[in-house]
Chains A and B, each alone.
Chain A
């Protein structure tokens, strides 16, 4: 999907996009100016080389002036050195500008993403967002560095050469320039053809990659269905198309480079032919001829560079369009203008006739009303899809509700800042998410207000400290991506420690269903007791022990609260809870009895 999106090639130039892009250069306007000036000077110094040859030949060598020759050569060397140094600084400076600009842009996108709401992430696949932050920004580097500044360099180079040629001999200048239209046309034609061929190559590369990817993932199917030979034929065909596309592009290169040489040789011929007259008339010197022969060679590099800028612009436009589209998507949950401050809640939670749907009117929660008093523990139970997790999302204000009110300490959560709200609510999710890094950072999440002692204490409290200490490096021990080297139970305990370290007034716990070994299970159960202590807690419970400890059990079914009460009461009713009990919890009772 995202690939198709990325394949779209926009216009080569869009002034609105360009203006918006240029704005990113503003903080570096002095550097940009400096780079432009430098590239002008470099271009000028570059183009004087033939001029020195002329002086050396006509003024020194022809007149037998050895001292003058040395002087000219030394001067030439000085120019060469200065130019080299300036060229270095210029090249580095343009790269620097490009890198700084895309750094700024990248951070801006990243920051933008951090503050989008979950609705935004529901509709934007992560892969695509990452492409924006990485590839698309990367593409702009070329435009910000060589794309903008180097255009000046190329243009000045051409201007410099033309100016010097005319000042030396305008007739020879015109003769030399006479092939320029052909060179321009040829180069741009080549660029166009090469670009088309390149696009075709890229298309074929994408096809090969897709095929490979698909057939490596589906190799089992290929083998079981005995399709290896046929698949191979198909691959050979795609692979062949890729080869042919490349061969076509080789053809253009093979044609272009000799053509440039031939155009150049025509100029050489013309210069020689015309100079014969000029020498006789005395208007042309040997030095002039030599200078013009050199000018002739210097022309086509800036022309080729200019033609490349077209490609750079085109890809940059396409990337920036995608980036700006992302930056313009402001999907977020907005804090009210004058939020009520909520430093430390007492922990009273109320849901008043809450209705919620992720899409349109597909109600996930229907008219939910619920009050939880400070310090109470509520267990929510229900079958898959009953809407349990949604309740958590709403309390944390990850989504805004469509109808009804959610209150904390009697204040509508929409009137509290999200920072205040979430500081007061500790969330333990079912799928524990660990970041790569070290254990400590996974507990304190980089919060400097949480001391290492507190981290250790929290780990101790939930009974995971022993395990952490046993790791190589202890609390600084490495955590791999998604904590892949830890067991499910260990990950859960670490996430408990995380919540405890933040010490929230309200705890929301979505118990994991996956089974763990008995030892870890005991640890987890004890940790949960610690977590629930002295807090208002909402638990989506899968453990009988947790349910039995709750002050009240809420039974949800198909988006509604269907039963509520304590364990014994609900069992006595013989409704949904009783069935759920038999389905999910009875076995645990058996197990704990054993």
Chain B
């Protein structure tokens, strides 16, 4: 019932189609349910008129045509039932999946860090599927079955109510058997699936650690372990097989008993002249008609239960409000930014961690200047810059852009004006052109080429056969780490950003190319603000300001020359890199 409540808004959209579906179900059943009646009458006529050949033949032709034409009419409505109700369920599935994606799109970075992609994928596939099942077959079959049941019972009761009662005795057991078997099968399947994933995990671990296995000569032991897991998987499968193997014979037995009871007691009634042989035939035909509804009842209850549970899970996710969004403080007058950034006593703590990631940061980056950040892994470099496009919101202090609190700037404006190249370059499996054009509305070829040449990816692209139309990723070519980084730099530049952020995204580019990129960037970013994180001195040495982060604090601050003289972390890093260069030359 909870399921229906959550789904009501989705169902409402299609209420007229669904109403038509309902009408067709009723009509299809009404037309179908008279068939046994015709057959019974035909048989009775044959029984009573064995001598008058002409008349019998014409009557029989009449009955034949009745049977065929009613089946055709009923079939047409059955066709429309599927075409309405089941089709609607697919449409709702479509709507639900769209809702799910647009929900995801609003979630901040932290949401994806704490929710495994696999879980989200499982919701998108398994849960939505279960809801779809509950919506389509879950609606169609119960109504259909109910109609069949009601109409057939009406006919049967009219013909002989005592025989009806006798014939019906085993049928509720069918529903019950299907319900319990369905339930057991569901739980057993889950158990089986769990064992299966254990098996998969072991194989995964074993193959990842194959070196250890080999160097300690543990192959046989590993095979033994895998055999154990396979055996328990085998057992789970056989347990499931047992229930499944039991279910159908049980059903056939129950249905068979019902037919048997009808033949025996119906037969007695025929002998006693209480009913005709035709009525007995009709009864047998009705029983065949009732088998499926009985199965469906038991089955549908399971489907609805699973669908309800899934919808509950989905709803819980979808109801979640995104933490980072425009609010009442948002000043929609702001439509552009200049690029001056100021951190005022900014501290930041990650939601899940108790350690503060940034402590009391004070920093002013004026418009048109370049800031470089160096520091060890985990010193807070990425966190510091992630605050600017509001991937996280600061927990203490103030972050100002052009003197405005960052939270007053509309999120779209802010992000449109920021060019961001993340540490882990992420490109979509699409053409290079589409990847570079990713953040712009007008796709202008000259801008594509100029931004690609700034980031130095143009040289590589020219060598590809399909140039900018080359597809990247699984279906196309694999770019090297450096090429990926340069492509994502082009993607950021083409946006014409007021603030450009490069998070260690030159690490896989050789120093010679890097030098060229930085040189071109300086021209492009002349009037704007750039922030570069790097481990390489060569990348940062020409920046207007360099800061060194350590444990979330700024420990050194100044220009290259100033910092080298300081004899601290920066100068140490510098001398090491000089040594490395010397080593390379040896």
Contact = CB atoms under 8 A, between A and B. Distances in A.
B93 A272 contact: no
Contacts of A27: none
Contact of B210 (A121, A216, A258): A121
A199 interface: no
Given A103-B234, A216-B104, A269-B64, A115 B426 contact: no
Interface stretch (B235-243, B456-464, B556-564): B235-243
Contacts of A85: 249
Chain B interface bracket (under 10, 10 to 19, 20 to 34, 35 or more)? 35 or more
Given A275-B60, A583-B580, A130 B246 contact: no
Nearest to A134: B200
A215 B391 CA distance: 16
Given A255-B79, A280-B50, A280-B53, A576 B586 contact: yes
A208 B72 CA distance: 39
Interface stretch (A304-312, A371-379, A417-425, A564-572): A417-425
A502 B212 CA distance: 13
A103 B231 contact: yes
A481 B281 CA distance: 65
30 contacts: A3-B474, A52-B263, A61-B277, A77-B260, A83-B252, A91-B244, A91-B248, A91-B249, A107-B227, A130-B203, A212-B124, A214-B428, A220-B391, A225-B439, A226-B416, A240-B94, A253-B82, A265-B72, A273-B64, A276-B56, A277-B53, A280-B50, A290-B281, A396-B215, A398-B214, A427-B215, A481-B201, A579-B582, A583-B579, A583-B583
B91 interface: yes
Which of A221, A253, A272, A575: most chain B CB closer than 10 A? A272
A534 interface: no
Contact of A208 (B47, B75, B97, B231): B97
Which 8 residue pairs across A and B have the least CB separation, nearest first?
Answer: A258-B75, A269-B64, A225-B439, A265-B71, A91-B245, A95-B241, A254-B82, A276-B60
Given A118-B210, A276-B57, 15 more contacts: A57-B267, A84-B252, A91-B248, A134-B200, A219-B112, A220-B426, A224-B418, A225-B438, A235-B98, A253-B82, A254-B79, A254-B81, A262-B72, A277-B57, A422-B217
A61 B101 contact: no
A76 B260 contact: yes
A69 B227 contact: no
A53 to B, nearest CB: 7
Contacts of B477: none
A280 B51 contact: yes
Contacts of B285: 293
Contacts of A115: 219
Contacts of B87: 247, 250
Nearest to A145: B241
Contact of A279 (B46, B288, B389, B582): B46
A338 B79 CA distance: 74
Which of A224, A272, A481: most chain B CB closer than 10 A? A224
Which of B63, B223, B418, B583: most chain A CB closer than 10 A? B583
B10 interface: no
Contacts of B201: 436, 481
Nearest to B240: A95
B326 to A, nearest CB: 13
B61 A273 contact: yes
B271 A61 contact: yes
A106 B412 CA distance: 53
Contacts of B93: 243, 246
Nearest to B271: A64
Interface of B: 35, 39, 42-43, 46-47, 50-51, 53, 56-57, 59-61, 63-65, 67-68, 70-72, 74-76, 78-83, 86-87, 90-91, 93-94, 97-98, 101-102, 104-107, 109, 112, 117, 120-121, 124-125, 196, 199-201, 203-219, 221-227, 230-231, 234, 237-238, 241-242, 244-246, 248-250, 252-253, 256-257, 259-260, 263-264, 267-268, 270-271, 277, 280-281, 284-285, 288, 389, 391, 412, 415-416, 418, 420, 422, 426, 428-429, 438-439, 474, 491, 495, 576, 579-580, 582-583, 586
A80 interface: yes
B401 to A, nearest CB: 15
Given A61-B267, A225-B438, A293-B281, A579 B209 contact: no
B203 A221 contact: no
Interface of A: 1, 3-4, 49, 52-53, 56-57, 60-62, 64, 66, 69-70, 73, 76-77, 80-81, 83-85, 87-89, 91-92, 95-96, 99-100, 103, 106-107, 110-111, 113-115, 118, 121, 126, 129-130, 133-134, 205, 208-210, 212-228, 231-232, 235-236, 239-240, 242-243, 246-247, 250-251, 253-255, 257-259, 261-262, 264-266, 268-270, 272-273, 275-277, 279-280, 286, 289-290, 293-294, 297, 383, 396, 398, 418-419, 422-423, 425, 427, 429, 433, 435-436, 445-447, 481-482, 498, 502, 557, 562, 575-576, 579-580, 582-583
Contacts of A425: 215
A69 B63 CA distance: 29
Contacts of A289: 43, 46, 281
A481 B205 contact: yes
Nearest to B51: A280
Nearest to A133: B203
A99 B238 contact: yes
A387 B426 CA distance: 31
Contacts of B260: 73, 76-77, 80
B90 A232 contact: no
Given A250-B90, A576-B583, A422 B215 contact: yes
Given A53-B284, A110-B203, A422-B215, A239 B94 contact: yes
Nearest to B97: A239
B199 A433 contact: no
Given A219-B112, A225-B438, A226-B412, A446 B218 contact: yes
Contacts of A212: 101, 120-121, 124
Contacts of B112: 216, 219-220
Which of A56, A91, A232, A269: most chain B CB closer than 10 A? A269
Contacts of A121: 207, 210
Contacts of B249: 83-85, 87-88, 91
Contact of A95 (B65, B210, B216, B237): B237
Contacts of B117: 213, 216-217
A227 B434 CA distance: 12
A232 B98 contact: yes
A237 to B, nearest CB: 11
A232 B491 CA distance: 20
A517 to B, nearest CB: 14
A257 B125 CA distance: 28
A429 B102 contact: no
B117 to A, nearest CB: 5
A516 to B, nearest CB: 14
A139 to B, nearest CB: 13
A268 B42 CA distance: 11
A217 B426 contact: yes
B277 A107 contact: no
B42 A419 contact: no
Which of B74, B98, B267, B271: most chain A CB closer than 10 A? B267
Contacts of A225: 415, 438-439, 491, 495
A258 B79 contact: yes
A220 B422 contact: yes
A62 B582 CA distance: 110
Contacts of A251: 83
A572 B293 CA distance: 93
A47 to B, nearest CB: 13
A467 to B, nearest CB: 21
Contacts of A435: 205-206, 209
A96 B241 contact: yes
A427 B495 CA distance: 52
A103 B210 CA distance: 22
B204 A235 contact: no
